[in-house]
Structure 1
Amino acid sequence: MANMSWIAIIVAAAAGFFVGGLWYGPLFGKAWMKERGFTEEELKEGNMALIYGTTFLLSIVSAIFLGHLLAHFGEMSMRSTMMIAIGVAIGFVVPAIGTNYLFSRATFKLFAIDAGYWTVFYAAMGLVFAFLG
């Protein structure tokens, strides 16, 4: 792998995880639950340690690969780093979930909530890599 900062990777993963807590909590939590057809009681029935633990591990995987990609470019400006990080979301993640949502007949509102989350998730990680990477 190209030279990567493991500290930046862990902080980037934590930043993305934090965005998720805000996004699916106070910002869009109720709208997301409505679009998914969940009640608060149903969400509490899940194995939260497994869900949050696995989510954080997956955030680390995303941060590793974004960090690896960014490391190949060497020194970059904040603008370039953010363009690549957000570009990963808009160019790869959003179209992938959009395709899944079309075939599963999910609402546009749910797509917008989730696509927005992934865009902000990668933007947050990009900021971390811009400062610590």
Structure 2
Amino acid sequence: MNLLDVNWVAVVIAALAGFLVGGLWYGPIMGRRWMAAIGLTEEDMKSADAGKLYGFTFLLALLASWTLAHTFASYDQSLGFMVKLLTAFGVALGFIVPALWTNYLFQRADRRLFWIDAGYWLLFYIAMGLVHASMA
């Protein structure tokens, strides 16, 4: 199988879906709690280079989306909608969440930060899984 043999429209739409989840999660839903957990203020956030920050974040979302699409394309094409959705969720639950937890334990990070970030990654991958499963 060719590494580039994926549904590129789904890759971009899924990355946009994950990016949108991030905007909502770290904005109106958990933004204030997240800033408090990492010790930043709204003024700190306004002083960031938004173009660079969001541009690079979207490129990373594209990479994650492509990796998920490639994973699905590597397996039997008869995978059903729920299998793809649960696989996307499983990637977050089985790989991302434990990695975060390990890092935050050693960093002695605020426990709230773990729950905020873990919730985001679970929703991020669910959103991408929904897109990829729907566009198969």
- Between Structure 1 and Structure 2, how many residues are aligned? 133
Taking the TM superposition and a 5 Å limit, the aligned residue runs for 1:52-91 are 52-73=54-75, 74-91=77-94
CA distance in 1, matches of 2:55, 2:4: 27
Aligned-pair distance for 1:2? Answer: 7.1
Secondary structure, in 3 states, of the residue corresponding to 1:38?
coil
Aligned-pair distance for 1:77? Answer: 1.3
CA deviation string 1:60-98 (max 9, x = no partner): 000010000011221221110111100000000111111
Whether 1:105 and 2:108 are equivalent positions in the alignment is: yes
Taking the TM superposition and a 5 Å limit, the aligned residue runs for 1:29-68 are 29-68=31-70
Amino acid at match of 1:10: V
Indicate the percent of aligned positions where both proteins have the same amino acid. Answer: 48
Point out 4+ residue stretches in structure 1 off by more than 3 angstroms: none
Q: Is this contact kept in 2: 1:2–1:72, CA < 8 A?
A: no
Unaligned runs of 5+ in 2: none
Whether 1:114 and 2:117 are equivalent positions in the alignment is: yes
CA RMSD of aligned residues (A): 1.0
Q: Is this contact kept in 2: 1:33–1:39, CA < 8 A?
A: yes
CA distance in 1, matches of 2:119, 2:41: 22
TM-score scaled by length of structure 1: 0.97
State the match for 2:21 in structure 1.
19
